[in-house]
Amino acid sequence: MKISGEKIKQTVSSVKEHWSKPPEGRYIPYKEILAYSIGGIGVKFVIYTVWYISLSATSLLAGSALGLKNGDLVKLNLVATIIGLFLGPIRGLIIDNTRSSKGKFRPYLLYTGIPSGLMLTVFAFLPFETMSYNQKLWALFISYMLLQLCYPFYDQAYTTLVQVMSPNSTERADVITVSTFIYSLAPSIMNFFVPFIAGYTGGLEHIGAYRVIMPALGIGGALIGLFSYFGTKERIIVSKDYTPKVPFFKGIGAGIANKYQWARSLTSWCILLQAGVGNITTWYFYYGIKDVLNLTTEKQGLLNGTLVTILGAAATPAMLIAPFLIRKIGKRNMFILYIVTNILTLVGMYLFIEQIWVLFVFVWLRNFFCTFTLITDGAMSADVLDYQQYKTGDRLEGLMGQFVGTIGVFVSMGITYFTQTIVMQNHFGLVDNYDDLYKASFREPISKGMILIAIVGFVLALIPFVTMYTLTEEEHESHIKVLKIRAALEDYATDSLSDGQLDEAKQIYADSVKEYDECIKALETATKRKERKKFQTKIKALEIVVNEKERFTTERMIKKTAKATDLLSHTVEELYGISEPTLDKYNEANAMSENTKEEANLKATKLKEASKELDIFHKKAYDYIQARKLIKQKEYYANWDKIFVVEPELQEV
pLDDT tens digits along 368-411? 999 888 778 877 887 888 888 888 776 655 555 556 667 777 88
Q: How confident is the model at residue 159 (pLDDT cuts 50, 70, 90)?
A: confident
The predicted model gives 492-519 an average pLDDT of 83
Write phi, then psi, for 563 (nearest 5 degrees): -65, -40
Asked if residue 314 lies in contact with residue 364, where contact means CB atoms within 8 angstroms, the answer is yes
pLDDT tens digits along 400-412? 555 666 777 788 8
Measured CA to CA, the distance from residue 450 to residue 47 in angstroms comes to 25
The predicted model gives 189-210 an average pLDDT of 76
Asked if residue 48 lies in contact with residue 190, where contact means CB atoms within 8 angstroms, the answer is yes
> Does residue 322 register a pLDDT over 50?
yes
Measured CA to CA, the distance from residue 245 to residue 629 in angstroms comes to 14
The predicted model gives 325-334 an average pLDDT of 88
Asked if residue 255 lies in contact with residue 404, where contact means CB atoms within 8 angstroms, the answer is yes
The predicted model gives 606-632 an average pLDDT of 79
Residue 6 amino acid letter: E
Asked if residue 191 lies in contact with residue 45, where contact means CB atoms within 8 angstroms, the answer is no
Q: How confident is the model at residue 273 (pLDDT cuts 50, 70, 90)?
A: very high
Mean predicted lDDT score pLDDT of the chain = 82
3-state percent breakdown (helix, strand, coil) of the chain, nearest 5:
80, 0, 20
Asked if residue 281 lies in contact with residue 311, where contact means CB atoms within 8 angstroms, the answer is yes
Asked if residue 285 lies in contact with residue 307, where contact means CB atoms within 8 angstroms, the answer is yes
> Does residue 650 register a pLDDT over 60?
no
Q: Can you state the angle between helices 151-161 and 30-50, rounded to 10 degrees?
A: 150
Measured CA to CA, the distance from residue 196 to residue 481 in angstroms comes to 52
Q: How confident is the model at residue 562 (pLDDT cuts 50, 70, 90)?
A: very high
Residue 405, pLDDT score: 66
The predicted model gives 263-272 an average pLDDT of 91
The radius of gyration of the chain's CA atoms, rounded to the nearest angstrom, is 27
Give the 3-state secondary structure of residue 342: helix
> Does residue 242 register a pLDDT over 60?
no
List b or e across 561-582, with b for residues whose CB sees 16 or more CB atoms inside 10 angstroms. beebeebeeeebeeebeeeebe
Measured CA to CA, the distance from residue 251 to residue 26 in angstroms comes to 30
pLDDT tens digits along 446-500? 999 999 999 999 999 999 999 999 998 889 889 988 988 888 887 776 677 777 7
Q: How confident is the model at residue 98 (pLDDT cuts 50, 70, 90)?
A: low
Instruction: Cite the DSSP H helix spans in 231-296.
Output: 248-256, 259-271, 279-282, 289-293
CB-based contacts of 167: which residues, under 8 Å, 6+ apart?
Answer: 27, 235, 236, 237, 386, 480, 483, 484
pLDDT tens digits along 16-60? 777 878 877 778 888 898 999 999 999 999 988 888 887 776 677
> Does residue 602 register a pLDDT over 90?
no
- Which range among 7-11, 61-65, 500-504 shows the weakest confidence by mean pLDDT? 7-11
Asked if residue 452 lies in contact with residue 483, where contact means CB atoms within 8 angstroms, the answer is no
Measured CA to CA, the distance from residue 344 to residue 347 in angstroms comes to 5
Residue 122, pLDDT score: 92
Terminal CA-CA length for the chain: 42
List b or e across 455-478, with b for residues whose CB sees 16 or more CB atoms inside 10 angstroms. bebbebbeebbeebbebbbbbbbb
Residue 636, pLDDT score: 81
Measured CA to CA, the distance from residue 168 to residue 165 in angstroms comes to 9
Q: Which residue has the higher pLDDT, 137 or 18?
A: 137
Measured CA to CA, the distance from residue 373 to residue 174 in angstroms comes to 14
> Does residue 230 register a pLDDT over 50?
yes
- Which range among 69-78, 151-160, 381-390, 395-404 shows the weakest confidence by mean pLDDT? 395-404
Q: Which residue has the higher pLDDT, 414 or 234?
A: 414
Residue 290 amino acid letter: K
> Does residue 420 register a pLDDT over 70?
yes
Task: Quote the DSSP letter at residue 276.
Answer: G
Asked if residue 33 lies in contact with residue 22, where contact means CB atoms within 8 angstroms, the answer is no
Looking at CATH, the fold of the domain delimited by 24-471 is given as: Growth Hormone; Chain: A; (1.20.1250)
pLDDT tens digits along 245-264? 555 555 555 566 678 888 88
